Structure formats: C-alpha cells, structure tokens
Amino acid sequence: MLSCKNRSQPIYHSAILKTNPGMLLSGFILRNVPYVSEVFVIQHKWSGSLRNIALAIILVRAGLGLDAKALQKLKLVCLRLACGPCTIEACSVAVISHFLMGLPWIWGFILGFVLGAVSPAVVVPSMLLLQKVGYGVEQGIPTLLMAAGSFDDILAITGFNIFLGMAFSTGSTLYSIFRGVIEVVGGMVAGVALGFFIRYFPSKDQESLVMKRAYLLLGLSVFAVFGSAAAGFSGSGGLCTLVLAFLAGIGWGSSKGAVEDIVGVAWDIFQPLLFGLIGAEISVTSLNPSTVGLGVATLSIALVIRIVFTFVMVLFAGFNFKEKLFVSLAWVPKATVQAAIGSVALDTAREKQNVLLEKYGMDVLTVAFLAILITAPMGALIIGLAGPRLLRKPISDQLENEGMGQYYG
C-alpha cells in the first residue's frame, strides 16, 4: 500500500538537516585544519559585515512571515515568551557562572545576556519551513516563535549593553537603561515610518513592481542594521527591520508572496555565508581548556532552566502538551547574536589594557563559542525532528492527505 499521509515529513527533515550544522562545520574546518586555515584567511571586518547582511535578510523573512491575525490572538503569550525565558536564562547563567566559573556578578550577567538570545538564523528558517508545510499554522506557533524570538534578541542585546556599560563604567546605570529603552523605541518608530513608506512606494503602476519592492525592502533593511550600528544603537536595527517588513507585508496583501520568494533567494545565498563565518569564528586554540568544562556545565544547566521556564510561560496559551513541549524545545538554538556580541567584551577589555578584564572577556567568548557549536546544530535537529511529530496540521490538509492515501491504497 502506498500512502501519502506523511509524505511532506521527509522533505522537511532533509531540508533542515542539510543546512545549518554542515555549514557551521565547514567554517569550523576552514578555521582550524592546518594548512587550510593558512590559505583561507577571512578578515574580521568582512566577516562581520557579511553576517550583518545575512542577519538583515533573515529578519526581513521573519517580518514578512508574521501572521497579523495570529499575532493579535497571541500578543500576551508573545510578550511573555519574548521577555521571560531570556531574563530567567540570563539570571541563571549569572548565578551559575559566579559560583562555578568565578565570574564577578556584572560579568556573569554579561555572559547571561550573551547566552540568553535565541538565534533567528536557526529559528526563523525552521519556522518558515514548518509554516510552509502547514505544521502549527492554525495555532499560530511559527508566527509566535518568530515574533517572540526577534524581541528576545532585542532584550538580550539591550541587557548586554547595560551590563557592559556597568563593567567598563562608560556611563551611569540609569543612562544605560535609558539608552536601552531609546534603542527599542527608536527602532520601532523608524520601522513604522519606513514600513508605511515602502507600502506606497514604488507605486502600483510601475513595471517590475515585485522586484523593486524586494530590492527596496532588502536595501532599507541592510541600511537599518548598518546605520544603527554606526550610530551606536546596534539594538535598533534588527527591530526596525522586523517592523518594516511586517508592515510592508500587510500593505502588499496577496502580492507579498512574490516578494518573499525573492527574499528567499537572497537568503539561499547568504545562509551558507552566515553559518560558515560563524563556524570560522570558533578557533580551537582560543579555547581555554580549564574553562570549557565549566562553560558547558553552565550552558547545560541554564538551558534546562530555560526550557522548563518556557514551558511554564505557555501553560495558559491554549496549546496542547505536545505544542507546549515544542515551543520550549524550539527556544534552544543560539548562533547569530552570540557570534555578533560574544567578542565585544573581550575587545573592549583589550582597549582598556586590563589583564583581569581580558580574562573575563575570554571566558565570555569561550562559552559563547561553545554555545554556538553545541546548540546551533542541536537546535536545528530538535526543531526538524520534533516539529512534524509535535505540531498539528490544518484539518483540511489532513483530510486531503488521508484521501490521497486511500486513493493510492
């Protein structure tokens, strides 16, 4: 008997399992294999720029993929999911690293907010694949995770900047908190303004409208990410891009799908660059052996706490047990934010020429790299394997699959 009931699952599995881990490993090999690493030399400036472009593209995909109706329905859950797990993981890491790794409290929170961010480069493509196949769409789970994940990253970056400022006394605590609020508000305001602009420009009577919309959307998004970083408000660019793409997609209506296809092509180009470059950031020689074991222990304990707390955050969201479990497990992968800010504390300490602070900065960098190396492929595997098993498809799709199975039977 030939049944088509689950014919989409192998396609989904192969799509997710062949991407992130292999790309990450390729970059790792290029960086650490003798002779190969001498031939392929990647300048840090170019590496960072390419990662930022890829980050802008993935946030555009996330913004276009958001379902306004599902977001309205789950707005309170989204808020809890965006703030709760990140905060609890940051606090857990701070406590664990203080007693286990000997980090000062401020540096513990720096490490905590570095690890507290979920990776949009892993979560968003995975959620878009699930959404395309139909898993969890009626419950709004892909939209919930993409939206909450983006705000989760903003919170993590803001918290990181606050404690980084406290560690190096670059300003008062109140100023650091106020600066974080300004980043969030500024990013949202800029995103709303650009979003309404791109909804009406270019006008609908122009030729190659879809292509122009896609190029303008990508261009403005990359400009937002780089411009905010140049202005010293790096946390604003990602939020601006997300809001911009979301509002533009609402305004374009049914034609949004064609723009998503073009953005998807751009992502296909930059995805291997992003993960390859993240893998290339991990140097075996830079890992302190005495820190690796304690770092893995800190990361593992904090992840367990985050998973449990995330499950608690969605207890009254209207999901069944399997869906709550999936949401909790999908919050595991870390890559993009860790690669972006993991070395900032060390670079700042080197500028201050403080040996003790350099040691703390290297500890933060080591654990951040371990988090990327362990959780990025593990998270992709978990989402790829658990999604089709824990999430529901629309009833119409299930009936169609069962009907085709009977037909072929």
Supply the DSSP string of 4-22, one letter for each residue.
Answer: -TTTHHHHHHHHHHTSHHH
Average pLDDT over residues 261-266: 88
3 state SS for 339-406: HHHCCHHHHHHHHHCCHHHHHHHHHHHHHHHHHHHHHHHHHHHHHHHHHHHHCCCCHHHHHHHHHHHH
pLDDT at 14 over 70: no
Whole-angstrom Cα distance, residue 1 to residue 364?
55
Average pLDDT over residues 250-273: 84
The structure tokens listed for 363 are: 């500890």
What percent of the chain has a predicted confidence (pLDDT) above 70?
85
Whole-angstrom Cα distance, residue 233 to residue 131?
32
Could you read off the pLDDT of 177-196 as tens digits, one per residue?
A: 777 678 778 888 999 999 88
Mean pLDDT of the chain: 80
Confidence at 90, pLDDT banded by 50, 70, 90: very high
pLDDT at 7 over 70: no
pLDDT at 41 over 80: no
pLDDT at 296 over 90: yes
Q: 224 near 237, Cβ under 8 Å? A: yes
Q: What is the radius of gyration, based on Cα positions, of the chain?
A: 21
Element (H, E) at 145: helix 141-168
Q: 112 near 156, Cβ under 8 Å? A: no
DSSP 8-state secondary structure symbol assigned to residue 331: T
Q: In the chain, what are the domains?
A: 45-279+287-392 (1.20.1530.20)
pLDDT at position 397 is 55
DSSP string, 53-75: HHHHHHHHHHHHH--HHHHHHTH
Residue 223: CB atoms within 10 Å: 15
| Residue type (1 letter), 123 | V
0.75 cut: is pTM over it? Answer: no
Whole-angstrom Cα distance, residue 223 to residue 218?
8
Phi and psi of 2, rounded to 5°?
-105, 115
Confidence at 308, pLDDT banded by 50, 70, 90: very high
Whole-angstrom Cα distance, residue 232 to residue 234?
6
Could you read off the pLDDT of 99-139 as tens digits, one per residue?
A: 999 999 989 999 999 999 888 778 888 888 888 888 888 88
Q: 346 near 361, Cβ under 8 Å? A: yes
Residue 232: CB atoms within 10 Å: 10
What percent of the chain has a predicted confidence (pLDDT) above 90?
18
Q: Residue 177 in 3-state DSSP?
A: helix
Whole-angstrom Cα distance, residue 92 to residue 167?
19
Most confidently predicted of 11-15, 219-223, 266-270, 343-347: 219-223
Among the listed ranges 94-98, 102-106, 202-206, 328-332, which one has the minimum average pLDDT value? Answer: 202-206
Confidence at 329, pLDDT banded by 50, 70, 90: very high
Q: 138 near 67, Cβ under 8 Å? A: no
Sorted by sequence, the CB contacts under 8 Å of residue 289 that are 6+ apart come out as: none
Average pLDDT over residues 320-324: 91
Whole-angstrom Cα distance, residue 187 to residue 155?
13
Confidence at 405, pLDDT banded by 50, 70, 90: very low
pLDDT at 404 over 60: no
Average pLDDT over residues 312-319: 85
pLDDT at position 103 is 93
pLDDT at position 142 is 87
Burial string for 258-290 (b: 16+ CB within 10 Å, else e) reads ebbebbeebbeebbbbbbbbbbbbbeeeebeee
Could you read off the pLDDT of 163-176 as tens digits, one per residue?
A: 877 787 655 667 76
